[in-house]
Amino acid sequence: MDYIYLNDMAFYGYHGALPEENVLGQMFRITVTLATDLKQAGETDDLKATVNYAEVYELCKEVAEGKPFQLIESVAETIASRILETYSPLVKGCKVLVVKPTPPIRGHYDSVAVEIARGTL
């Protein structure tokens, strides 16, 4: 299996369980890993034989900056589902990491995050 990575994409969204998160919004950082076969793309140098990274970025942006979710788990699940629906059978599986750098939690920490894996990795 080969992999495509879209690392540390930054989006401004309104996800969160607290009302102020849905009003004020905050940054979210998303990393996506796509499991696929890149042999044909590598041999032919043809974009049609691989996944267009710009399209995946736009899909992630649409979810992250779109309809607010209470949970970042839902953000990750929606992105994974849409990627698999859009790029099947080329993409066999995906992993989605959603990082919330500044959640309204008292204490000292770098961030909170969820990571899900769907399909064959």
CA pair distance 92, 51, nearest whole angstrom? 12
Is residue 37 within 8 Å of 2, Cβ to Cβ? Answer: yes
Token pair 């950082």: residue: 29
Q: Does 61 qualify as catalytic in the annotation? A: no
32: enclosing H helix or E strand: strand 26-36
Q: Which residue in 48, 67, 92, 100 is the catalytic one?
A: 100
Is residue 71 within 8 Å of 14, Cβ to Cβ? Answer: no
Residues serving a catalytic function are 100
